Copies of this chain bind each other. A is one copy, B any other.
């Protein structure tokens, strides 16, 4: 990336350098037309702010929700990588939306942030705004239309493997507990699940395909209870998160069904929860520490900027399959 300064942007956009600075730092104080002219000039020059101004060595990790332990294990990896490289790492929980983006980028500029790691998927439009203000790496969830660097896993292959584990343990009526389809992981894991069913000539029952509005024990528990209480009930559950697997275990216990004899369960992520609960939960290990670590490394190496990297997952067989 060629380094270009704000004067060149100003000349290109036919505005003053002060206006360029205002667009970048106090966007709300500039008319939409002016902001658009400056944005276009920036795009055409491939300009990035703060390219020379990253003495802070400050990295922000934007996290959607910390109460999901999945994220905290990723943060451990990012923290280790930041420490090793003498960077400072801070965690931000702001939900980045059309409404909050202006305040957010002002903040990024004021703190002179070196780069940001996104653990949530953002729309292309917001990614474009953000990447004009700082380096951006997407981690786990990412926008498949964006060329910004991303580190993730092959959700399709992992879900296929998990479903095959249930099939090989002799189960033939398999349900899926999924998250919202707006997420890449949700669409890809469903695809892997369906592929495993069709390759093994098993029927697909759409009543057993549950897309939950959030990864939540409290939402999953009554839904699973209802499925277990029906005349035609599944004998296995593929859950896209260990938390949902815990809900299946609790509900199965309520109906005095045996795990894994009556009901098999497999989770996803291999969080500490999957090991702690009884019976311990079979799951797919997602290399969370490495994902967090690699995200920091990608941020520091801007030559990797167009790469989408995928780390390997593995099957962890415990007591529920």
Contacts and interface: CB of A to CB of B under 8 A. Distances in A.
Contact of A277 (B69, B90, B278): B278
Copies in the complex: 2
Contact of A91 (B69, B91, B217): B91
A75 B66 contact: yes
A92 B93 contact: no
Nearest to A245: B276
Nearest to A217: B276
Nearest to A91: B91
Contact of A69 (B60, B67, B75, B246): B67
Dominant SS at the A interface? helix
Nearest to A247: B276
A88 interface: yes
A217 B277 contact: no
A88 B113 CA distance: 15
B217 A272 contact: yes
A72 B66 CA distance: 6
Given A91-B93, A273-B273, A278-B278, 19 more contacts: A66-B66, A66-B72, A66-B91, A67-B76, A67-B272, A69-B72, A72-B72, A75-B93, A88-B94, A88-B107, A91-B92, A217-B276, A246-B276, A246-B277, A247-B276, A249-B278, A250-B276, A250-B278, A277-B278
8 contacts: A66-B75, A66-B76, A67-B272, A91-B93, A217-B275, A217-B276, A276-B277, A277-B277
